[in-house]
Amino acid sequence: MALLVAGLLAYAAVIGPFTAYMRDKPMEEKLGYVPSVKVMKSVSVDQKELAGASLVFKVLMYYGTLMGQAPKGTILKDPGDLQGMSRLLHGAVQLDPYNMDAYYFAQGILTWDAHQYQVANALLDYGMKYRNWDWFLPFFAGFNNAYFLKDYKKAAHYYDLAGDLSGEPLYKSLASRYMQESGQTDLAIAYLSGMVKTAKNDAVRKSYQLRLQAFLEVSRIEKARDRFARERGGMPASLEDLVRSGYLKPAPVDPYGGTFYLEPDGKVATTSKFAFGAKKK
């Protein structure tokens, strides 16, 4: 009896600090070390799908914590351990090559955050071999090729495939639009709006919403710039010119904390490069 009481008292004393210690562990430590996929494949025996799903959840929890750390209206300083997340997601699809969560999440972080477009596309190509009914994967690959890699021929091919698999004529029309480099911002907005609508996870939706917000601002600047050029017969010298002359009201705000500016050729850019933690110009 005395032992039980002593045990309970000791437990009550230690559980608070222990929980706090576990909660405050550095996030990188939480993402942790994962043994090689070969080892995981062997150890997980007939639970490979569960092991794959658990890796995706590890990444998701980490990402959720990362996004949750930034209070509304403040800027997140760190894009997180992108390499670690990528490693875990690649591991997940080797354990379960059908795991859509892994492809979906990898598409988000590998392109917009890590700028690893070829890696993202290789992963999508790998997924297409297994999920041969899923239009989402060629849809992602089409977007990556057109928007990031400017490979319009490949983009059209993937959009064609997405159109065939989904039966959606929209993707067929996107295929033809991607054949030419025009209206890039509008296409990004269309893509991101779709992603926001279909996102189920709060952290993922928040990330896409933020990006969409940034592209809506870019679109507003582009429209103001074009109107300026049409009416004044020349490009504005700077973004401040647009604001000062009343073409752009209110002044644009980069949700990533950067500052928008016009490149010498008139292209809209931002010092944040649409990512958290990018070097300021």
- Residues in touch with another protein (CB under 8 A): 41-47, 49-50, 53, 57, 60, 96, 98-101, 104-105, 131, 133-134, 136, 199-201, 204
Measured from the CB of residue 136, what is the shortest distance to another protein in angstroms?
8
- Alpha-carbon distance 32 to 38, whole Å? 17
Q: Which is nearer to another protein, 52 or 255 (CB)?
A: 52
C-beta neighbour count of 172 within 10 angstroms: 16
Q: Which is nearer to another protein, 105 or 215 (CB)?
A: 105
Q: Which is nearer to another protein, 101 or 254 (CB)?
A: 101
3-state secondary structure at position 78: coil
Q: Which is nearer to another protein, 61 or 235 (CB)?
A: 61
Measured from the CB of residue 51, what is the shortest distance to another protein in angstroms?
9
Measured from the CB of residue 94, what is the shortest distance to another protein in angstroms?
12
Strand-pair partners of 268: 262
Residue 271, phi then psi, degrees to nearest 5: -70, -20
Measured from the CB of residue 109, what is the shortest distance to another protein in angstroms?
12
Q: Which is nearer to another protein, 95 or 212 (CB)?
A: 95
In whole angstroms, how far apart are CA 100 and each of 3, 44, 49, 51, 228?
Answer: 51, 20, 12, 14, 45
Measured from the CB of residue 89, what is the shortest distance to another protein in angstroms?
12
Measured from the CB of residue 236, what is the shortest distance to another protein in angstroms?
41
Measured from the CB of residue 204, what is the shortest distance to another protein in angstroms?
6
Q: Which is nearer to another protein, 46 or 263 (CB)?
A: 46
Q: If we measure between CA atoms, which residue out of 172, 168, 216, 226 comes closest to residue 196?
A: 216
Q: Which is nearer to another protein, 67 or 204 (CB)?
A: 204
Do residues 137 and 99 lie in contact, with contact meaning Cβ atoms separated by under 8 Å? no
Pair type for strands 260-262 and 268-270: antiparallel
In whole angstroms, how far apart are CA 66 and each of 30, 106, 255, 257, 280?
Answer: 12, 16, 16, 16, 21
Do residues 247 and 224 lie in contact, with contact meaning Cβ atoms separated by under 8 Å? yes
